[in-house]
């Protein structure tokens, strides 16, 4: 069976700070025409940071789309000058958000967040050998963050309560469980 859709036209609808939006006209495998609204994103990183005391590092912050506070792993978008180095983004975000540096950053896996409508790819890293940074990078002006360190049992409770509710952080906690 043929699956590939052929793009016959692209209408660029929106240029944003975080995302862009395109509307594609596609020819389906059966010859009919359909439309796809696609969110374009530069990509991002997420960092599974485990302290020497065996606690995972999270960020507490407000998430406007959800209308609630969440706990998430340190993460952030890949800046245009970092396109060829998600590792560089991971190091920067670890410093900016939780003020740690890692002796070792290992790529666990890249994954797509919602391939039904977005091309956002997140590179998930595991950080080990954490130590406080000597030189702090400035935080984003529009971010209000609080560092939180949880045991595995506390992280699982936060998942059950809905405080941890995003895919990258749930994957990180599950990875942490598998590490044991």
CATH number at residue 144: 3.90.79.10
Is 107 inside any structural domain? yes
pLDDT tens-digit readout, 10-34: 999 999 999 999 999 999 999 999 9
Residue 22 lies in a domain: yes
The residue range of the domain holding 102 is 44-179
Distance between CA atoms of residues 135 and 149, nearest Å: 21
Say if residue 48 is in the same domain as residue 37. no
In a domain, 172, yes or no: yes
User: Of these residues, 37, 141, 143, 149, which one is catalytic?
Assistant: 141
What strands lie across the sheet with 6-15, from one edge to the other? 6-15, 19-27, 33-41
Whether residues 28 and 89 share a domain: the answer is: no
Whether 155 is in a domain gets the answer yes
Average pLDDT, the chain: 95
pLDDT digits (tens, 9 = 90+) for 80-135: 887 779 999 999 999 999 999 999 999 999 999 999 999 999 999 999 999 999 99
pLDDT at 156: 98
Residue 141 bears catalytic tag: yes
Domains contained in the chain, number = 2
* Whether residue 37 is found in the same domain as residue 59: no
Residues 56 and 80 in one domain: yes
- Give the model's confidence band at 180: pLDDT under 50 very low, under 70 low, under 90 confident, else very high: confident
Q: Is the domain of 16 the same as that of 61?
A: no
Residue 44: name the closest of 86, 2, 5 by CA. 86
Same domain, 102 and 160: yes
Same domain, 56 and 69: yes
Answer yes or no: do 68 and 139 share one domain: yes
| pTM metric for this prediction | 0.93
1 within domain boundaries? no
Asked if residue 19 lies in contact with residue 40, where contact means CB atoms within 8 angstroms, the answer is: yes
* pLDDT mean over 149-154: 98
If you compute the radius of gyration of the chain from its CA atoms, what whole number of angstroms results? 19
Token pair recorded at residue 73: 């792993």
Q: Are residues 36 and 125 in the same domain?
A: no
Same domain, 92 and 146: yes
Could you tell me the two tokens for 125?
A: 């890293």
């Amino acid at each position: 069976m043929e699956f590939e859709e052929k793009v016959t036209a692209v209408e660029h609808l929106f240029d944003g700070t975080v995302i862009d939006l395109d509307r594609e006209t596609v020819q389906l495998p059966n010859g009919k025409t359909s439309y796809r609204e696609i969110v374009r994103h530069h990509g991002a990183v997420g960092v599974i940071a485990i302290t020497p005391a065996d606690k995972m590092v999270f960020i507490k912050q407000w998430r406007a789309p959800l209308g609630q506070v969440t706990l998430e792993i340190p993460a952030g978008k890949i800046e245009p000058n970092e396109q060829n180095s998600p590792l560089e983004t991971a190091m920067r975000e670890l410093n900016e958000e939780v003020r740690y540096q890692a002796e070792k950053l290992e790529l666990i896996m890249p994954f797509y967040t919602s391939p039904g409508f977005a091309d956002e790819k997140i590179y998930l890293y595991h950080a080990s050998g954490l130590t406080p940074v000597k030189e702090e990078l400035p935080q984003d002006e529009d971010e209000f963050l609080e560092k939180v360190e949880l045991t595995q049992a506390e992280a699982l409770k936060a998942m059950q309560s809905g405080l941890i509710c995003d895919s990258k952080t749930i994957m990180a906690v599950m990875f942490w469980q598998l590490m044991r």
